[in-house]
């Protein structure tokens, strides 16, 4: 028996099936309300692929250390930090794209008036260190109704960007120990006002115990000193008190006796000037001995030049020029020694010779050499 299906019923069945599929598709997708609260929000700038960018690796570094160094380097070189575009792992700096600055980077590069050169530094924590990558963009403002444009200039400025990265690595290698000491601990710095008063009390309790122990121990040495003062009074009242005598005698024998034993050695010193015979002096005055002959004049009193005293002006004469030169050389070395110079084995060196004096160079071991001028019997340093 063959059943015939009405075409209208077949069409209705197909419509019901299609409508059910449409309803299920709409239910699976997000429903946007009138306020638009169900739409996904963008939480930050889009990630950038650093495969072909200028980059380097700083092993053992932390993100905060490297970023602080990069910010300090940018400020010291005249760049302004764009805090609105910067994030924890991204630093954006900029400066006006002046023609002179752009020409120094690339001679053929030129920028429109009012353009800005922006450099973005990306920090990526790879577990064993921080990967630092940079890119450069030229931002041209809107002109004549045209919107602002952003052009990638990483390749033309690749050499300059790599130099900046190398400088950052040198700064980190030089200052990483100081940054590690200055970095706060993971739990943060503890405030001095948040400390509980228990540690000071605990610290003061042992000190009080120590003071009590010190006070308890102090009477022990004070005990012998007290009887040391009392026995003399007892000895004055009763001469037969023998037990109190050993303590003062022991105390007197321990401290003062060594000082008194040394004094007899000094007594002859005082006795010798006191024992000067006055009678002998008077007898000498009465004897009126014959006066000694007068010393020989100029020949014996002529000054003798040596290595310590400087020569006089009258001692320098043309016949003894070689001797005076040697004497000035010795005086120059002596002048340098008096000022802490350890003269080298080569000795002083003659730099310039004049009729009125000479200039010497005295080399010193472990310090700078002296440049000394000897003129008119006086040596003076020139430096």
Among the candidates 161, 182, 203, a domain finishes at 182
For residue 276, what pLDDT is reported? 53
Among the candidates 125, 154, 182, a domain finishes at 182
For residue 77, what pLDDT is reported? 86
Q: What is the DSSP string of 121-188?
A: EEEEE-SSEEEEEEEEEEEEPPBTTBPPEEEE-TTTTHHHHHHHHHHHHHHHHHHHHHHHHHSPPTT-
What is the pTM for the complete model shown?
Answer: 0.39
Whether residue 94 contacts residue 74, with contact meaning beta carbons closer than 8 Å, is answered with no
> Which distant-in-sequence residues (6+ apart) come within 8 Å of 315 by Cβ?
303, 305, 324, 377
Among the candidates 182, 209, 228, a domain finishes at 182
Number of domains comprising the chain: 2
Closest CA to 66 of 98, 42, 89, 93: 89
For residue 165, what pLDDT is reported? 93
Q: Which residues of 200-228 are buried (b: 16+ CB within 10 A; e: fewer)?
A: eeeeeeeeeeeeeeeeeeeeeeeeeeeee
Residue 20 is assigned to a structural domain of this protein: no
What CATH number does the domain containing 150 carry? Answer: 3.30.310
Residue 90 is assigned to a structural domain of this protein: yes
For residue 22, what pLDDT is reported? 57
d(CA 29, CA 38): 11
For residue 202, what pLDDT is reported? 44
Residue span of the structural domain in which 105 resides: 55-182
Residue 358 is assigned to a structural domain of this protein: yes
For residue 156, what pLDDT is reported? 85
**pLDDT tens digits in sequence order for the chain, 383 residues long:** 444 556 666 666 666 766 665 555 544 444 444 444 444 454 567 788 888 899 999 998 889 889 988 998 899 888 999 988 889 899 999 998 887 767 766 677 677 788 898 999 999 998 889 999 999 998 988 887 788 888 898 988 898 899 999 999 998 888 877 766 655 555 555 665 655 554 444 444 445 445 554 454 454 444 445 444 544 444 444 444 444 454 444 444 445 555 444 555 444 454 445 555 555 544 444 555 566 666 665 544 444 444 444 444 444 444 455 666 778 888 888 888 888 888 888 888 888 887 778 888 899 988 888 888 888 778 888 76
């Amino acid at each position: 028996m063959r059943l015939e299906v009405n075409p209208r019923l077949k069409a209705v069945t197909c419509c019901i099936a299609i409508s059910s599929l449409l309803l299920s598709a709409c239910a699976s997708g997000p429903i946007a309300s009138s306020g638009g609260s169900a739409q996904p929000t963008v939480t930050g700038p889009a990630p950038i692929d650093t495969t072909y960018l200028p980059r380097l690796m700083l092993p053992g570094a932390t993100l905060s250390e490297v970023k602080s160094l990069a910010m300090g380097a940018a400020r010291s070189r005249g760049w302004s930090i764009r805090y609105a575009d910067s994030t924890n792992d991204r630093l954006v700096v900029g400066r006006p794209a002046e023609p002179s600055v752009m020409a120094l980077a690339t001679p053929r590069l030129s920028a429109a008036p009012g353009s800005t050169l922006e450099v973005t530094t990306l920090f990526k924590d790879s577990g064993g260190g921080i990967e630092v990558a940079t890119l450069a963009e030229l931002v041209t403002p809107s002109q004549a109704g045209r919107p602002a444009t952003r052009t990638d200039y990483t390749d033309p400025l690749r050499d300059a960007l790599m130099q900046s990265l190398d400088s950052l690595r040198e700064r980190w290698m030089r200052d990483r120990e100081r940054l590690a000491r200055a970095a706060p601990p993971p739990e943060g710095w503890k405030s001095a006002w948040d400390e509980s008063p228990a540690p000071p009390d605990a610290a003061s309790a042992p000190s009080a115990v120590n003071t009590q122990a010190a006070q308890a121990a102090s009477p022990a040495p004070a005990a012998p000193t007290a009887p040391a003062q009392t026995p003399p009074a007892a000895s004055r009242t009763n001469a037969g008190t023998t037990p109190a005598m050993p303590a003062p005698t022991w105390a007197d024998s321990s401290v003062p006796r060594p000082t008194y034993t040394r004094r007899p050695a000094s007594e002859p010193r005082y006795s010798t000037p006191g024992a000067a015979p006055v009678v002998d002096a008077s007898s000498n005055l009465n004897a009126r001995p014959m006066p000694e002959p007068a010393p020989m004049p100029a020949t014996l009193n002529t000054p003798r030049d040596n290595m310590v005293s400087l020569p006089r002006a009258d001692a320098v004469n043309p016949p003894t020029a070689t001797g005076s030169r040697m004497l000035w050389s010795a005086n120059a070395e002596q002048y340098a020694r008096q000022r802490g110079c350890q003269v080298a084995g080569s000795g002083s060196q003659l730099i310039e010779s004049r009729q009125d004096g000479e200039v010497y160079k005295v080399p010193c071991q472990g310090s700078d050499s002296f440049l000394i001028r000897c003129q008119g019997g006086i040596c003076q340093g020139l430096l």
